[in-house]
Amino acid sequence: MPSEHDTNIYPGAALIATGLALHGLCKGSLSASGSAAAWVVGYGHLAGPVKVFGVAMIAFYLIGSRATKVKAATKATLEDGPDPSKPGGNRNAVQVLSNSLPSLLAAIAYRLYASDASPLFQPGLGRQLIFAALGHFATCLGDTLASELGILSRSKPTHILTLAPVPPGTNGAVSPLGLAASAAGGTIMALVVALDLAIEDRAGSSWAAATQLLGFGTAAGLVGSLLDSLLGATLQRTLYSTTDGRVLTDLSSAERENAPGVVTIGPGINVLSNSAVNFICASVMAGVGYWVGGL
């Protein structure tokens, strides 16, 4: 049965969400619409009877934003401009929600329907929603680290379908470093969730629960990143400038696709944007997390 709805206002959550949204707007990492969406996302994650959703959200954006700055100058020689669908880009509302909506819905559902449940360790809806949020964040951080760190691999990546060597940044490209980074991203998010829940629900914490979280988080980071690569290899087109020696991102590809020296790499067709791929992968793994949480 659904629990009594939580109607608290949570002014602290509103204050933190306002600070995060204004910071992103002032720093230029968010557009006006992105800042508004970030406020909704921030408040929705933070305003609830447990803090795990908000803590996971903040950890994801802090770590993801830091990853975008690692050897940024080197990455600029490999890709034509930043990807705004990742943390740290000048993201609009669609791009913010593509990395946030599944976990936001899980956080809101927890507040409305599971606010009287144990945060994790009692079977039920609350546990399923937390696993759904973990599936989402593990996938998003795993993909972010795979993209931001995997592109720096010393060995040339290979296309996941053709197995041919391709330029770093190609949609559908994988490398050992990128795969390791994606698994690490999932593990990091699982550790964040496990530590938070151990503090919030000391009586119910156990090594078995922590092991479940770590196992699922690591798997979600890796599997979500592989799913991202498969979608990128088939439903995204990669344009490469032979003149600049760089892969063109979503922003630059539309205006430069007919420019001299621009060629297509791989068999992918132009159906999905990076934001769409991120949203699909995060949603799928959030659904898997919801199922795993009910086992």
Least confident of 67-81, 132-146, 157-171, 183-197: 67-81
Percent of the chain at pLDDT exceeding 90:
55
CA pair distance 140, 150, nearest whole angstrom: 14
User: What sections of the chain are H helices per DSSP?
Assistant: 11-27, 32-46, 52-69, 72-76, 93-98, 101-113, 125-150, 176-200, 207-235, 250-256, 274-293
- Going by pLDDT thresholds of 50, 70 and 90, the confidence category of residue 91 is confident
pLDDT digits 0-9 by tens, 150-185: 888 888 899 999 999 999 989 999 999 999 999 999
pLDDT the model gives residue 254: 58
Mean pLDDT of 26-41: 90
Check if the beta carbon of residue 176 is closer than 8 Å to that of residue 153.
yes
Question: Which residues make Cβ contacts (< 8 Å) with residue 41, sequence separation at least 6?
Answer: 17, 57, 96, 97, 100, 104
pTM: 0.91
Using CA atoms, how far residue 52 sits from 15, 39, 129, 192, 215, in Å, is 18, 18, 11, 8, 18
Phi, psi of 266 (to 5 degrees): 85, 175
